[in-house]
């Protein structure tokens, strides 16, 4: 059951998310062109770094946060069969988020916040950038609260019943976000804002980087969980089968929540302010959180295989051909999983305690995270949009073929763009440069790969424009959709209580967070630290 309120909330959030996505792709295209050095008139570090900052903020913070909120409202109303609790609060949160984005956008576009999307003290952005980013986070907490309350109310009304899997995962994500955004919130409120407002002269960069690392990796799971929800809850049905295992799906979401949080230090491997022991501890956790992803890959592929065999696919690989490749959700799942495998391999290298030194901060890293985020995660976001848009606007999807072309384009573009980045990274090219200015023979070997990435970027831009066009045409010119019959949920054997709620897991997380971040944060108040001067910006 989706009432008018939840539909409107979802739609309004999706508009911002996908508007930001379309815009950010143009910035991305400019960046590959500028960086390739093929067009001399485009060369400008000032414009490039302003563009990188805007592209990163739009993709990583605006697209994700608004998409996740919109999808959450839909999932909660749909799977629990109840209206969104306190719509006024939901709209207030939405307003706070939009206000924050507008406030942050002004200095970003004026080049007054070229601190990339990971901030970078002691380089200082205009204060409105920090206020805007903080408001975006605070606004998203309204959504978290609504998700938690809706689950609590449903459980009270349905004692002993199993929480529907999509809602279980959505609440896991809300909790993950509350836990993880605390790190950047502390950095923002106690360090960045007072410093940008001129209340304090200096900032402890070591502490700031540690707090940001707290947020920096789990945030990736915040982005990933909606993609996993689609893989577990939409893909098996779309392929004509059913989910292989409900219990392991819940286990995977719980493992991501619990293990995903205390691992941020693999972003600080090369940093001087944390000792090797703590880095080692976080490394073990980073590898452990690969387990739920390996489980997810297995469960989703097993579900696809069941579906393929039901449709007559035989032999070891025959079921692959028998899958409905023309269903956007199925196609997206296959392409997503392929990119997850490729990107996951790169991630294992990054996470390796010693191997990381070879690729740290090189072009390898954006190669890796574009495969995982822009590849795996965004591809599933696009498929979710194709699935939900008709239900949200009450019209049939504008075209049956164009979404398939668009998804293939996104996949091919992503592979063409990220493969040269992985090679460039191994050849030592730094990730955050606008041009190659080194008078060294080494850089000659970089040239051929730079042209290839431009082609990838162009394919991606075309694909992004197709996506926005399909949604626009569906909304304005699609045929009216008749109401679909509700799909009957497969009855599942009730999972044990500890896979039907989060009280236990919150306690486990608290202990893990204290163990992994307690002393590493406390040390900045125990050691004699010298804050750098504010002359850096």
Residues 270-289 that bind other proteins (CB under 8 A): 270-280, 283-284, 287-288
Query: In sequence order, what DSSP letters do the residues of 38-107 get, joined into one string?
Result: --GGG--HHHHHHHHHHHHIIIIIIIHHHHHHHHHHHHHHHHHTSPPS-HHHHHHHHHHHHHHHHHHHHH
Q: Count residues binding other proteins (CB under 8 A).
A: 82
- If binding is defined by CB under 8 A, does position 109 make contact with other proteins? no
Shorter beta-carbon distance to other proteins: residue 177 or 269:
269
Residue appearing with tokens 């995270």: 369
User: CA 498 to CA 519: how far, in whole Å?
Assistant: 30
Residue appearing with tokens 């960045």: 192
368 flagged as catalytic: yes
| Active-site annotation holder among 310, 432, 458, 469 | 432
Q: What is the three-class DSSP state of 404?
A: helix
**Is the dihedral angle over the CA atoms 214, 220, 223, 227 positive or is it negative?**
negative
Q: Which of 162, 200, 506, 523 binds other proteins (CB under 8 A)?
A: 523
217 flagged as catalytic: yes
Q: Shortest approach of other proteins to residue 105 CB, angstroms?
A: 20
- If binding is defined by CB under 8 A, does position 152 make contact with other proteins? no
- If binding is defined by CB under 8 A, does position 221 make contact with other proteins? no
Shorter beta-carbon distance to other proteins: residue 287 or 408:
287
What Rg do the C-alpha atoms of the chain give, in angstroms?
23
**Of 242, 74, 246, which Cα lies nearest the Cα of 165?**
246
| Spatial CB neighbours of 482, under 8 Å, sequence gap ≥ 6 | none
Shorter beta-carbon distance to other proteins: residue 207 or 227:
207
Q: Shortest approach of other proteins to residue 72 CB, angstroms?
A: 28
- Contact between residue 99 and residue 135 where contact means Cβ atoms under 8 Å apart: yes
Strand partners, 395: 480
- If binding is defined by CB under 8 A, does position 123 make contact with other proteins? yes
Q: Which of 86, 200, 352, 399 binds other proteins (CB under 8 A)?
A: 352
Structure tokens at 318: 């025959």
Phi-psi region of 312 (alpha: psi -120 to 50; beta: other; left: phi over 0): left
381 flagged as catalytic: no
266 flagged as catalytic: no
Q: Which of 19, 83, 87, 122 binds other proteins (CB under 8 A)?
A: 122
Shorter beta-carbon distance to other proteins: residue 86 or 523:
523
458 flagged as catalytic: no
What is the contact mask toward other proteins in residues 286 to 305, using x (rule: CB under 8 A)? -xx-xx--xx--xx--x---
User: CA 400, 404, 406, 411: dihedral to nearest 10 degrees?
Assistant: 170
According to DSSP, residue 400 is labeled S
Q: Which of 34, 187, 204, 450 binds other proteins (CB under 8 A)?
A: 204
Structure tokens at 165: 């899997």
| Active-site annotation holder among 55, 266, 422, 431 | 431
| Active-site annotation holder among 369, 411, 467, 502 | 369
Shorter beta-carbon distance to other proteins: residue 402 or 534:
534
Which 429-458 positions form the footprint of other proteins (CB under 8 A)? Answer: 429-438, 440-443
Q: Shortest approach of other proteins to residue 405 CB, angstroms?
A: 34
370 flagged as catalytic: yes
- If binding is defined by CB under 8 A, does position 248 make contact with other proteins? yes
Assign 3-class secondary structure to 161-204: CCCCHHHHHHHHHHHHHHHHHHHHHHHHHHHHHHHHCCCCCCCC
432 flagged as catalytic: yes
- Residues belonging to the active site: 217, 221, 368-370, 431-432
């Amino acid at each position: 059951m989706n009432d008018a309120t939840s539909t409107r909330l979802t739609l309004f959030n999706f508009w911002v998310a996908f508007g930001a996505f379309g815009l950010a792709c143009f910035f991305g295209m400019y960046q590959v062109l500028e960086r390739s050095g093929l067009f001399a008139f485009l060369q400008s570090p000032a414009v490039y770094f302003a563009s990188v900052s805007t592209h990163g903020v739009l993709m990583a913070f605006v697209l994700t946060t608004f998409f996740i909120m919109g999808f959450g409202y839909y999932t909660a109303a749909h799977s629990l069969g109840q209206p969104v609790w306190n719509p006024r609060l939901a709209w207030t949160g939405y307003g706070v988020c939009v206000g924050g984005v507008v406030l942050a956008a002004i200095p970003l576009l004026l080049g007054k916040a070229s601190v990339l999307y990971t901030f970078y003290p002691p380089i200082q952005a205009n204060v409105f950038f920090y206020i805007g980013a903080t408001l975006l986070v605070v606004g998203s907490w309204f959504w978290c609260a609504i998700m938690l309350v809706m689950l609590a109310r449903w459980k009270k009304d349905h004692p002993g019943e199993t929480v529907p899997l999509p809602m279980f995962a959505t609440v896991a994500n809300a909790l993950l976000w509350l836990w993880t955004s605390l790190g950047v919130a502390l950095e923002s409120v106690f360090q960045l804002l007072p410093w940008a407002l001129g209340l304090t002269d200096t900032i402890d960069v070591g502490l700031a980087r540690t707090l940001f690392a707290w947020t920096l990796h789990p945030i990736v799971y915040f982005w990933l969980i909606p993609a996993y929800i689609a893989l577990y809850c939409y893909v098996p049905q779309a392929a004509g089968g059913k989910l292989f295992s409900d219990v392991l799906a819940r286990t995977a979401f719980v493992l991501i929540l619990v293990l995903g949080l205390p691992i941020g230090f693999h972003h600080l491997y090369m940093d001087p302010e944390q000792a090797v022991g703590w880095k080692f501890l976080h490394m073990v956790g980073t590898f452990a959180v690969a387990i739920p992803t390996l489980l997810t890959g297995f469960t989703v592929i097993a579900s696809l295989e069941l579906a393929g065999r039901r449709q007559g696919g035989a032999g070891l690989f025959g079921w692959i051909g028998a899958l409905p490749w023309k269903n956007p959700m199925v196609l997206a799942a296959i392409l997503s999983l392929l990119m997850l495998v490729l990107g996951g391999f790169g991630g294992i290298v990054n996470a390796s305690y010693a191997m990381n030194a070879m690729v740290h901060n090189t072009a390898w890293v954006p190669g890796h995270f574009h495969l995982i985020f822009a590849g795996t995660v965004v591809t599933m976001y696009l498929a979710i949009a194709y699935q939900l848009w008709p239900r949200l606007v009450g019209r049939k999807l504008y075209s049956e073929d164009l979404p398939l072309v668009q998804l293939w384009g996104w996949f091919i573009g992503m592979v063409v763009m990220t493969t040269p980045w992985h090679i460039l990274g191994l050849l030592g090219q730094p990730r955050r440069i606008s041009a190659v200015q080194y008078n060294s023979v080494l850089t000659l070997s970089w040239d051929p790969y730079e042209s290839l990435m431009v082609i990838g970027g162009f394919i991606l831009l075309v694909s992004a424009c197709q996506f926005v066009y399909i949604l626009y045409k569906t909304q304005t010119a699609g045929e009216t959709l008749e109401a679909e019959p509700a799909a009957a949920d497969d009855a599942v054997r009730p999972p044990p209580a500890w896979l039907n709620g989060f009280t236990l897991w919150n306690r486990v997380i608290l202990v893990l967070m204290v163990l992994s971040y307690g002393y590493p944060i406390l040390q900045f108040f125990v050691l004699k630290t010298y804050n750098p001067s504010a002359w850096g910006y």
